[in-house]
């Protein structure tokens, strides 16, 4: 181990200026345990401290740096409270300084008659200006001659212990001084530094904290952002390359009778060009002798399920079983119903296994599966239980795969011997390309970017509460035309009781517009018992009820082609992705469908952008890009649990070009040297070996 690595692994309390108490605080508040953690805790902004402003040029509510002599300092008492006031006189005027906290300590630290450099926010005070809680430093021997001064994330507890902006800068200064005698080794190959004209890691880490100039800061930021993206892509693409070299897969050489019969005689429509392309990509994987790990992305209604079904038929034609795992019982039942309907004329046994399948029925399914009598098994997490044993599982498909954890997917791998099954993961949540590169960068990606012919885009409009009678009249007209409607209410966990009340209040209000027995209205929400929920959904699907009042439980799993209207109440409370998923419940038939976004008249800027985006476009990928920019990657569904996105400085929204460049360069390196065996790539090989030791899931999709 190098000397720099040894020092950087030192516990934080041993740094000058820290000690046990501050060390414990840094651990608890900022998760800083070692010198390395402190070094990699980068500033989130910088203050330009190069200019000293004449006091007469101060503008209202602005950050300023002024210089002058402290000519007065006194404690002012007002009842039980007290404040410290100072007066600073500069060459062009005077400015008041005010402190409300730690006033005794500050009074002792300051000296009347001394010249100070003062920094803070200036506000109008009578005819002059004042600065509340300014940063003060004696002008003689002052250390603020830096071009840019770093500002770090902090907390109240840290501030009270002297680890405020100034204290944190001092700690970093102490650390860099300690590291000045050694050189931090670079983790990028020399040929990359030369080719990309990047500063060394040593230079970058110094200039990210104490930049010598704007240019030096920019170069340091670019270097460290590239480094983060580069090593993520190296890990993902090396994993992908290794898997293709090391993990053999079952060979499916035949496209046989089941596939051809279904394609030529059963399939009731012509596949889109995108569906045909994706099936070819999957087909090539299945006959390659290498285990398939493919992500299938397709917007709502693009026809992913048919692609999944035809992939399963290839497995069956080659003597293997297939399974499809969905995150909820409703969605699993939906898949089972659709696939059973599509396959009823073929000699295929398909079964459904969920938590509610019990007793003799469950036993019969488990026995049939183990004996190879069941060809396709659809289910929920129940498929992962140890009692579920396949005879010869060849293809495992997961739907909405971001809802399954790594450990759960690993259990699916173990269901097949001697090789793992081919893996196809599907999502109806369009993923922006940059996010796909980071979250699923180790998978092959197929995209269905074409809707089936005859589908009319859903018309989306926004209405405020004042237009409710008009909206209800429109619904009544559509219902008289034989259509059905969803009315969806938000259900946010933090206010579930209130939301359920809103749902039932809404239900009562809707009955005024659609009175019984002339109209029938269903109610569905997540707190209902599964049997009651299923019964209500069935009534709606069979056309017995014309209106379904529901929470987002219908986001996935309800496929009613006759339902052509979606009304979303309090639409501003939903995220863009969820709005898009809900809208996807309509527009499944040949008739024109409508999505009406009900919202309050007053909207936040973000709320307005979300609803305007929904009204402007039906393109899920465009919507996902807007969502990514609004919320950031860490808040999107499925990414919160992913350590992949815990970057220290890089940002996949703002630094797209750097991400794409890093991926391209990693692809080139692994194309020439897949095993990183060349001496020039020794630092990269060392990194990969370290990652392998850390991860138990290096081969899991």
pLDDT exceeds cutoff 50 at 700: no
CATH number for 138 = 2.40.50.140
Least confident of 370-384, 398-412, 528-542, 642-656: 398-412
Structural domain contains residue 246: no
Residue 640: the pLDDT is: 44
Quick one: 303 and 315 in the same domain?
yes
Quick one: 281 and 410 in the same domain?
yes
Residue 697: the pLDDT is: 41
Residue range 243-294, pLDDT digits in tens = 888 888 999 999 999 999 999 999 988 899 999 999 999 999 999 999 999 9
- Domain boundary (145, 168, 202) is at 145
Quick one: 582 and 522 in the same domain?
yes
Structural domain contains residue 178: yes
Structural domain contains residue 221: no
Please state whether beta strands 148-151 and 594-599 pair in parallel, antiparallel, or not at all (unpaired): unpaired
Residue range 405-450, pLDDT digits in tens = 666 767 788 899 899 999 999 987 778 877 888 877 888 899 998 8
Structural domain contains residue 376: yes
Residue 176: the pLDDT is: 92
Quick one: 281 and 173 in the same domain?
no
Residue 323: the pLDDT is: 97
Residue 488: the pLDDT is: 92
Residue range 662-682, pLDDT digits in tens = 999 999 999 999 999 999 999
Residue range 568-604, pLDDT digits in tens = 999 998 888 889 988 988 887 778 999 999 998 888 9
Q: pLDDT class for 4, splitting at 50, 70, 90?
A: low
pTM for the full predicted model? 0.74
Quick one: 379 and 314 in the same domain?
yes
Q: pLDDT class for 699, splitting at 50, 70, 90?
A: very low
Quick one: 299 and 444 in the same domain?
yes
- Domain boundary (164, 184, 204) is at 184
Q: Taking each helix axis as running N to C, give the angle between helix 273-286 and helix 304-317, from 0 to 180 degrees, rounded to the nearest 10.
A: 30
CATH number for 391 = 3.40.50.300
Report the candidate in 358, 391, 386 with the shortest Cα–Cα distance to residue 376: 391
Query: Which residue range is the domain that position 56 belongs to?
Result: 50-145
Mean pLDDT of 167-172: 91
Q: pLDDT class for 147, splitting at 50, 70, 90?
A: low
Quick one: 92 and 21 in the same domain?
no
Structural domain contains residue 203: no
pLDDT exceeds cutoff 90 at 383: yes
Q: Taking each helix axis as running N to C, give the angle between helix 605-616 and helix 576-583, from 0 to 180 degrees, rounded to the nearest 10.
A: 30
Mean pLDDT of 492-502: 60
Element (H, E) at 206: helix 201-209
> Count of domains in the chain?
4
Structural domain contains residue 633: no
Residue 555: the pLDDT is: 59
Q: pLDDT class for 698, splitting at 50, 70, 90?
A: very low
**What is the pLDDT of the chain when averaged over all its residues?**
88
Quick one: 401 and 482 in the same domain?
no
Residue range 610-662, pLDDT digits in tens = 999 999 998 888 888 898 888 776 555 555 444 456 789 998 888 989 999 99
pLDDT exceeds cutoff 90 at 493: no
Quick one: 357 and 288 in the same domain?
yes
Residue range 11-70, pLDDT digits in tens = 999 999 999 999 999 999 999 999 999 999 999 988 887 788 899 999 888 888 999 999
Quick one: 90 and 161 in the same domain?
no
Structural domain contains residue 385: yes
Distance (Å, whole) CA 57 – CA 91: 12
Comparison of pLDDT for 511 and 534, the residue scoring more: 511
Check: CB of residue 557 under 8 Å from CB of residue 538: no
How many other β-carbons are positioned within 10 Å of the β-carbon of residue 374?
22
Q: pLDDT class for 149, splitting at 50, 70, 90?
A: confident
Quick one: 494 and 365 in the same domain?
no
Give the percent of the chain with pLDDT over 90: 56
Least confident of 231-240, 372-381, 446-455: 446-455
Mean pLDDT of 327-351: 91
Secondary structure tally for the chain: helices H, strands E: 24, 21
Q: Which residues does 289 contact at the CB level (< 8 Å), separation at least 6?
A: 248, 249, 251
Quick one: 14 and 106 in the same domain?
no
Mean pLDDT of 547-562: 77
Structural domain contains residue 435: yes
How many other β-carbons are positioned within 10 Å of the β-carbon of residue 141?
6
Check: CB of residue 158 under 8 Å from CB of residue 164: yes
- Domain boundary (448, 474, 506) is at 448
Q: pLDDT class for 494, splitting at 50, 70, 90?
A: very low
């Amino acid at each position: 181990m190098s000397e720099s690595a040894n020092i950087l692994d030192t516990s934080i309390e041993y740094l000058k200026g820290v000690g046990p108490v501050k060390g414990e605080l840094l651990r608890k508040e900022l998760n800083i345990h070692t010198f390395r953690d402190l070094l990699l805790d980068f500033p989130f902004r910088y203050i330009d401290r190069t200019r000293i402003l004449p006091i007469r040029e101060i503008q209202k509510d602005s950050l300023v740096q002024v210089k002058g002599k402290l000519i007065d300092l006194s404690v002012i008492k007002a009842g039980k409270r007290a404040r410290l006031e100072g007066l600073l006189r500069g060459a062009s005027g005077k400015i008041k300084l005010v402190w409300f906290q730690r006033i005794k300590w500050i009074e002792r630290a300051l000296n009347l008659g001394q010249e100070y450099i003062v920094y803070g926010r200036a506000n109008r005070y009578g005819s002059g200006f004042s600065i509340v809680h300014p940063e003060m430093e004696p002008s003689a021997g002052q250390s603020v001659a830096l071009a840019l001064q770093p500002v770090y994330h902090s907390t109240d507890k840290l501030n009270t212990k002297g680890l405020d902006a100034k204290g944190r800068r001092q700690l970093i200064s102490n650390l860099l001084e300690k590291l000045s005698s050694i050189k931090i080794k670079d983790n990028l190959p020399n040929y990359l530094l030369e080719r990309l004209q990047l500063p060394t890691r040593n230079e970058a880490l110094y200039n990210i904290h104490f930049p010598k100039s704007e240019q030096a800061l920019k170069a340091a930021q670019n270097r460290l952002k590239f480094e983060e993206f580069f090593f993520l892509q190296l890990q993902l693409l090396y994993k992908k390359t290794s898997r293709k070299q090391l993990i053999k897969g079952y060979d499916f050489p035949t496209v046989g009778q089941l596939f051809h019969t279904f394609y030529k005689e059963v399939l009731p429509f012509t596949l889109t060009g995108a569906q045909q392309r994706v099936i070819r990509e999957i087909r090539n994987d299945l006959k390659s002798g290498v285990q398939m790990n493919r992500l299938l992305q397709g917007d709502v209604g693009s026809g992913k399920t048919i692609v999944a079904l035809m992939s399963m038929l290839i497995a069956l034609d080659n003597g293997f079983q297939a399974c499809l795992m969905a995150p909820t019982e409703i969605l699993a039942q939906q898949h089972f119903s659709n696939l059973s309907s599509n396959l009823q004329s073929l000699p295929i046994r398909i079964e459904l296994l969920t938590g509610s399948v019990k007793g003799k029925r469950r036993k019969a399914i488990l026995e049939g599966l183990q004996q190879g009598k069941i060809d396709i098994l659809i289910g929920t997490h129940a498929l992962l239980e140890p009692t579920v044993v396949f005879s010869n599982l060849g293809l495992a498909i997961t739907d909405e795969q971001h809802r399954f954890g790594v450990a759960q997917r690993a259990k699916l791998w173990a269901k097949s011997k001697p090789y793992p099954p081919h893996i196809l993961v599907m999502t109806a949540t369009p993923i922006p390309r940059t996010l796909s590169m980071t979250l699923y960068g180790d998978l092959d990606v197929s995209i269905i970017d074409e809707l089936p012919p005859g589908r009319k885009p859903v018309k989306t409009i926004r209405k405020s509460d004042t237009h409710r009678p008009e909206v209800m009249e429109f619904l009544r007209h559509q219902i008289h035309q034989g259509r059905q409607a969803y009315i969806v209410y938000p259900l946010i966990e933090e206010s579930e009781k209130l939301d359920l009340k809103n749902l039932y209040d809404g239900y009562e209000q809707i009955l005024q517009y659609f009175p019984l027995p002339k109209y029938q209205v269903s109610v569905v929400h997540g707190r209902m018992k599964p049997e009651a929920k299923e019964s209500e959904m069935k009534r709606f699907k069979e056309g017995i009820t014309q209106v379904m009042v529901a929470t987002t439980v219908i986001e996935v799993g309800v496929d009613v082609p006759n339902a052509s209207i979606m009304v979303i109440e309090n639409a501003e409370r939903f995220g863009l992705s969820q709005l898009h998923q809900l809208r996807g419940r309509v527009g499944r038939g040949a008739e024109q469908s409508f999505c009406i976004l009900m919202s309050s008249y007053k909207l936040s800027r973000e709320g307005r952008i979300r609803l305007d985006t929904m009204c402007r476009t039906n393109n899920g990928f465009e919507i996902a890009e807007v969502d990514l920019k609004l919320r950031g990657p860490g808040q999107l569904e499925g990414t919160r649990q992913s350590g992949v996105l815990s970057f220290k400085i890089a940002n996949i929204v703002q630094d797209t070009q750097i991400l794409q460049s890093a991926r391209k360069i990693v692809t080139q390196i692994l194309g020439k040297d897949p095993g990183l065996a060349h001496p020039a790539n020794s630092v990269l090989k060392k990194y990969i070996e370290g990652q392998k030791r850390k991860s138990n899931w290096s081969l899991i999709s």
